[in-house]
Structure 1
């Protein structure tokens, strides 16, 4: 040991992005950089040695060093692109994402931009084509899809969200720990075959591979997080661990319903990496998350109507809701780099969730006219009652799910211009689910029976003689096992047409599955999904890339899609399928001597075997019968760049139209038919006081179908919610960060230290997520009373990183 030393570091390209698969050699010894560009190599001490850094897409670089015995030396070289490669077509780093149509998001932006549910999803919601009207939820819909149509990966491992969650305020924490993130890539459609079987989008997240000790702390009125990372003395082991706690009381207490609300959302994540040799690397990612949601509503008053005829709904509650979600996740990954051009990956993961949803809530309401006389002593109070009634909701839902995945992936560099990728995966899903939930509604003393029963009810004129049944009732017990085999193969090629360069990707996915249920076993089903992408960079003075994507995307049903409105599993639900056509342009330019980029995309999707669904808050209920077809088309644009020197901001616009046709009845709007979307993410600072920084997050969405009662026939009731308008602002005083240094002694240990003040819902807009439907038996009128989201809320935030 006394005659050796160690050299390590991160290899970057000209864009300061890490380069994977760089070969580092000293004589006969060698190693290869990992996905984060990190390498580690033992060399002889007291001897001048030559390190060689080589990669097929970069110029070879050599460095001579002499180290003392047992010395640790950090060397971070920057490699230049080969001369024969023209600018943006080098298929590495940022340029690879560019030709693939991938949006790359800086993790620093994710941490700093304010939001009621800050994190990766908070930023994604500002992108074109991405919709959400619930600031308490991490769920989002993309280009006409729903919340279940999106793929999420962390370090190439697919992650899942709990099954039973009905509202955004129950979600708590996203799976992804923002403080552990190294890179975030997002595709809104037309993605490659290597990504899984979903129809809407891909969110691909990479966690950091630590190279030295670091620690970070964040604390606010909504909770806090602690992250620690470090490396072993011999540099072979490293670990990053994050602990998070969140309490949504500050946000939920701003809503109209007064509650006793005691939520706790807590999770621990840890990733361990072991660099066994130049050829073998191992990693493990583990997560334990517990959400306890104890909710006891007390009262609520919602004012609506017009200036001339103001109306109010007063509700008095009894009972409570006790929900708990305990999820455990573990994944192991091994990478075998058997030479510079060939690599294998072995991945195994397990996900276990135990969920309970227990509630008994009695709501007794008054619907009445409001005293609008400003000079009156009872101004704002209800002085005339139009109707009274009550509603009792009951649930005893329990779910236990175990999901196991085993996967092998291969990457082979056939030549400098051609690569082949493939993968084979086995998945087993074992779900045990009990559903017992019902709702009883009484209006002015008359019990309202189930609207789906075939009878005539004309109370109080004639006595009711039909069956006694609750207004809504679902009872089922399901033991379901799903076995899946899936795989893909794709080919990447880079070439020239004259002086113009192009990039081609062609691939196919296959998926076979069978549903086994205690009531009925389903038949074995198989689908194939061919996909292709083509990117062209003309040899023009203007820096442009044109992309074309065409492919078929199947979505074999997950457990939620198998379960119908009655709670019963239909094991023969077919895979929904869609054809994607995407045309896009990527234009990079300089304005005011600063970099900017304009990305525009036009797309069309045609869906068949559609599994119709309804959305209530974030809960999706499927009909599980594949009896519809649909389409979606639209246009997205995003302009991003340094509007303020040294900061990245962007402006987004999206237009979408999506409709579905059930059993030939005609096309109507889908539940995610968001017509217009505007998003702004803006960063600024005071020129005279650069330590003070401003962050703005603004979103505007036109209203969605979803204002009608859940039991209504959508062909007769196409009511839309009001437009969604949201503005969050953050102000931070940066004592120290990567761009601002400080001579103060107490700041020396910190790499970043800041104190922030955040305003959520800056303009105090009233955004509705659903409607509560109340009946007035005297006028035979049914009123839709909006359920509003959070109002204006203030928050303090402290960030400290070593």
Structure 2
């Protein structure tokens, strides 16, 4: 009997331990108010388990299954946060709590912010600011253009140049997956939508140079986006006169499947109808995106990112009048159009990402993606113009009208451009961490299969005489007869079937250490890239290999003032993408080499308090030396390369940004940048590059009415000095070095918050169902400044002069907006 009691006790003990061994896993990232991972957060459960977040804010804790467990998150400078969960056996639940700052009086400034991204020279942007800040193209890129070193003078475009680079030199990642944009788009008003959907965004990181080896092979910048992994159901809707967007997110009860999906529609006719050219214009831009995560277990997660985009651009210009010149000699260009442009861009993108957490130290990833785009650009447009003097008599009945014609002519442009591109990627990445050391590595295979037909020609007639192409035999009609054949002023015809195979890889090492009382961070790595180009049309092929070493060092001195110093640099390469291989005549040149750039970046962060509120001053100075440069011309957003590595260049400058709570409870910033970039083509001497935008000032400002805090205001202000703008596409850039006028723009938005997380209503009230609800109005280009993007070049046949007539951007536009979340 005694043995039986002992046996029952033994089995009871085993049963007790088995019941406790049935556990569930909770993991995630603890974020601060700026959605930055928070280090050293203590995590304690009501059942006695404990853990702590690492330097990136990541944590993992196991709790008993089938029991109600309360998890408490605590941090010395933040308010405690807690949640109660009941999970099933082997459930894997992701929880990303946001901890708010606790306001206390300290005898000295205590620095507790996460330094991981700051030491890497990465700027973190609040997703809330991205969704709220007004702009003609609101979104991530709209906010990026307010940063020092990031320039754009085209409010209809999402493209941007960074520290003297062009649009093709910027990397964009979404959850470590590289994304692409269409090839043929030549005008900002054709773009419609950025790839990045602001409704799906959780984190936004941006680096303007000196970035690590784990990022790819571009010369200028990295935009690293993280999409949400939801922890609860949510939905939202945003509608305005420019279009609308909707999203929904959720998670299954067992926490295994979570996802977010968004749908966007945009119509730019409200903006384009304010331009000088009167048109029949009805564009349609539609985009659908999804991001799902399925957790097979605590060790294995599978992610899917999908995107379908359809952009239709139907454009029928009617008339245009542009007044320019001086007060003493006013001149006008009056144009009557016939014909139309019909463009269509369809893109499909899908990616799978598998994450295997072997243990707390080792994470393995496998990423596969495919991008397919079919694009057509078809137009036939006849422009008949008059160039003449304008009546400036204030009391006259025909004030502002052309009363004497100096030039009469016509221009007929034609295009039948079609492109079909398929890009496939397969990549492995790994991360190993040991105490304060981290090693990252990766290897990637890319195949680009591109089929492209280019047919473009232009015929120019001035006063009844066809203008021959540049460099052809001189024609001095009507003084002497010319018996040669008629030729188009410009005639481009090519058919390319190009396949590019790439193999790239990287390895990098990161270390945090103490240097006496100071904290230091190191990072060093190297990339390698091998590619081969095969073009069927020219029967040409070529292969090359490049290596790119990079390094970073940062130190936080043990000073009373909160200062951080960093230096970074490396030898960067940009192997040519398809557009860089195609010359100005549309023909692929397989032997184009990778452009090279040596980066040196010096930076400083100074965090301090002013008016009893936190502020941060960030400053960076940079220098880039470029060799094997592939010169190009810039027309709106279309880049035409020479497809020759026959230039060298440099860029240097500095940037300052002050951000903080200028108004209590809000974040605003002011940016200033200086840039100089020049190139030397064929050793003819240095001239300004097409992106040489010398001075930049920008401000993002948020405010509210003190007595009515739910009435908020957002101001987006940008000033850029003029780009070297514009020369005809056929011209020698050494002759045309004139600049466009300065770019000045201010967008303002006003909204009234009916309800949000701080303002709730009881059940039964019609606002109870809304998590957030606001209505507002926006004014784009509030001062109605006439900004120009390019010049149209018109020849006066009598004086043989060529006039650069500015192509002006949008004028003042009013918009209304409704935003809601459930």
Give TM-score scaled by structure 2 length: 0.91
After superposition, the Cα gap between the structure-2 partners of 1:287 and 1:444, relative to the gap in structure 1 and judged at 3 Å, is same
Q: Displacement of 1:521 after TM fit?
A: 3.1
State whether residues 630 and 646 of structure 2, in contact with CA within 8 Å, keep that contact through their aligned partners in structure 1: yes
Written as runs of structure 1 = structure 2, the 5 A alignment for 1:435-446 is 435-446=454-465
- Note if 1:407 corresponds to 2:427: yes
Query: Is the CA contact 1:33–1:39 (under 8 Å) kept in the aligned structure 2?
Result: no
In structure 2, relative to structure 1, the CA distance for the partners of 1:277 and 1:777 (3 Å cut) is: same
Distance 1:50 1:133, change over 3 A: closer
CA change 1:39–1:275 in 2 (3 A) is farther
| 1:235 to 1:523, Cα distance in 2 relative to 1, 3 A | same
1:657 matches 2:676 = yes
State the partner residue of 2:354: 334
1:569 aligns with 2:599: no
C-alpha distance after superposition, 1:639-662 (max 9, x if no partner): 000000011111100000000001
Q: Alpha carbons of 1:222 and 1:64: their partners in 2 closer, same or farther (altered >3 Å)?
A: closer
Aligned to 1:83: none
User: What does 1:27-176 correspond to in 2, within 5 Å?
Assistant: 43-45=64-66, 94-176=114-196
Partner of 1:633: 652
Q: Which residue of 1 aligns with 2:573?
A: 554
Which of 272, 281, 284 is 1:252 aligned to? 272
Moved more, 746-755 or 419-428: 746-755
Q: Within the alignment, does 1:472 sit opposite 2:490 as a pair?
A: yes
In structure 2, C-alpha distance between the alignment counterparts of 1:107 and 1:50, rounded to whole Å: 29
Q: Which moved more, 1:477-486 or 1:465-474?
A: 465-474
CA distance in 2, matches of 1:165, 1:449: 28
* Structure-2 change in CA distance of 1:65 and 1:189 (3 Å): closer
SS of the residue 1:148 aligns to: helix
Give the one of 532, 535, 559 matched to 2:554: 535
Give 1:13 shift: 5.8
Would the aligned equivalents of 1:520 and 1:571 in 2 still touch at CA under 8 Å?
Answer: no
TM-score (norm 1): 0.93
1:616 corresponding residue in structure 2? 635
Partners of 2:54 and 2:522 in 1: CA distance: 26
CA contact (8 A) 1:21 1:34 kept: yes
- Report if aligned partners of 2:542, 2:591 keep a CA contact under 8 Å in 1: yes
Structure 2: stretches of 5+ with no match in the other structure? 1-18, 101-107
Shift in alpha-carbon separation, 1:253–1:49, aligned structure 2, 3 A: closer
Q: Distance in 1 between matches of 2:656 and 2:95?
A: 40
Selected match of 1:205 from 213, 220, 225:
225
Match of 1:390 in 2: 410
Q: Distance in 1 between matches of 2:810 and 2:419?
A: 29
Distance 2:363 2:44 in 1: 16
Q: Deviation digits for residues 27-47 of structure 1, max 9, x if unmatched?
A: 99999999995879673335x
* 8 A contact 1:769–1:788 mirrored in 2: yes
* Residue aligning to 1:510: 528
CA contact (8 A) 1:562 1:573 kept: yes
Q: Name the stretch that deviates more: 306-315 or 98-107.
A: 306-315
- Displacement of 1:233: 2.1
Cα deviation per residue 1:246-294 (whole Å; 9 max; x = unaligned)? 0000000000000000100001001111011111011100000000000
Indicate the SS of the match to 1:450: coil
The number of residue pairs the alignment matches comes to 790
C-alpha distance in 1, partners of 2:59/2:516? 37
**1:705 correspondence with 2:715:** no
For residue 396 of structure 2, the aligned residue among 366, 373, 376 is: 376
Which residue does the alignment assign to 1:691? 710
Find the aligned partners of 1:411 and 1:69 in 2 and give their Cα distance: 30
Residue 458 of structure 1 pairs with residue 476 of structure 2: yes
Distance 2:736 2:95 in 1: 66
1:606 to 625, 649, 654: 625
Partners of 1:363 and 1:391 within 8 A in 2: yes
SS in 2 for 1:339: coil
Partner of 2:238: 218
Structure 1 residue 707: Cα displacement: 2.0
The secondary structure found in structure 2 opposite 1:561 is helix
Deviation at 1:781, TM superposition (A): 2.2
Equivalence for 1:307: 327
8 Å Cα contact 1:434-1:477 kept in structure 2:
yes
Which whole-Å CA distance do the structure 1 matches of 2:815 and 2:193 have between them? 17
Aligned equivalent of 1:240, options 260, 268, 272: 260
Alignment partners' CA distance in 2, 1:307 and 1:14: 56
Which of 277, 287, 294 is 1:267 aligned to?
287
Q: Closer, same or farther in 2 for the Cα pair 1:126/1:601, shift >3 Å? A: same
Go from structure 1 to structure 2 and tell me whether the alpha carbon gap of 1:89 and 1:604 turns closer, same or farther (over 3 Å shift). Answer: farther
Name the SS of the counterpart of 1:695 in structure 2: strand
Residues 247 and 34 (structure 1 numbering): CA distance in 2 closer, same or farther, change over 3 Å? Answer: farther
1:755-774 superposed Cα distances (whole Å, 9 cap, x missing partner): 11000001000011111111
Q: Contact (CA 8 Å) 2:94, 2:231: kept in 1 or not?
A: no
Answer whether contact 1:31 1:278 (CA < 8 A) is retained: no
Contact 1:89 1:537 in 2 (8 A): no
Q: Is the 8 A contact 1:691 1:740 kept in 2?
A: no
Counterpart position of 1:493: 511
State the shift of 1:530 in Å: 0.3
Match of 1:522 in 2: 541
State the shift of 1:738 in Å.
3.1
User: Displacement of 1:613 after TM fit?
Assistant: 0.3
Distance 2:267 2:754 in 1: 27
Q: Distance in 1 between matches of 2:93 and 2:306?
A: 31
Distance 1:12 1:273 in 2: 19
Check if 1:645 corresponds to 2:664.
Answer: yes
Q: Which 10-residue stretch deviates more, 160-169 or 495-504? A: 495-504
When residues 34 and 395 of structure 1 are mapped into structure 2, their CA distance, relative to the original with a 3 A threshold, is farther
Q: Tell me the distance in 2 between the aligned counterparts of 1:334 and 1:299.
A: 55
Deviates more, 1:767-776 or 1:116-125: 767-776
Query: Cα 1:27–1:281, aligned 2, differ >3 Å: closer, same or farther?
Result: farther
For residue 597 of structure 2, the aligned residue among 557, 563, 578 is 578
Alignment partners' CA distance in 2, 1:76 and 1:760: 36
Query: For each residue in 1:146-203, what CA deviation from the matched residue of structure 2 results, as whole angstroms up to 9, or x when unmatched?
Result: 0000000001000011000000000000000000000000000000000000000000
- Contact 2:93–2:254 (Cα < 8 Å) also in 1: no
Q: What are the ranges of 5 or more consecutive residues in structure 1 without an aligned counterpart? A: 81-85
**What RMSD in Å do the two structures reach over aligned CA positions?**
3.2
SS at match of 2:143: helix
Task: Provide the C-alpha distance between the structure 2 equivalents of 1:194 and 1:623, rounded to a whole number of angstroms.
Answer: 30
Structure 2 counterpart of 1:189: 209
Cα distance in 2 for partners of 1:64, 1:214 equals 18
Name the SS of the counterpart of 1:111 in structure 2: helix
Work out whether residues 31 and 38 of structure 2, in 8 Å CA contact, stay in contact via their aligned partners in 1.
yes
User: Where does residue 386 of structure 2 map in the other structure?
Assistant: 366
**Whole-angstrom CA distance in 2 between matches of 1:557 and 1:761:** 37
Contact in 1 for aligned 2:760/2:768 (Cα 8 Å): no
Distance 1:798 1:468, change over 3 A: same
Q: 1:118 to 1:759 in 2, by over 3 A?
A: same
CA distance in 1, matches of 2:399, 2:74: 78
Deviates more, 1:322-331 or 1:709-718: 709-718
Query: Quick one: distance in 2 between partners of 1:547 and 1:722?
Result: 36
**Aligned with 1:634: secondary structure?**
strand
User: Take 1:401 and 1:451, find their aligned partners in 2: how far apart are those partners?
Assistant: 33
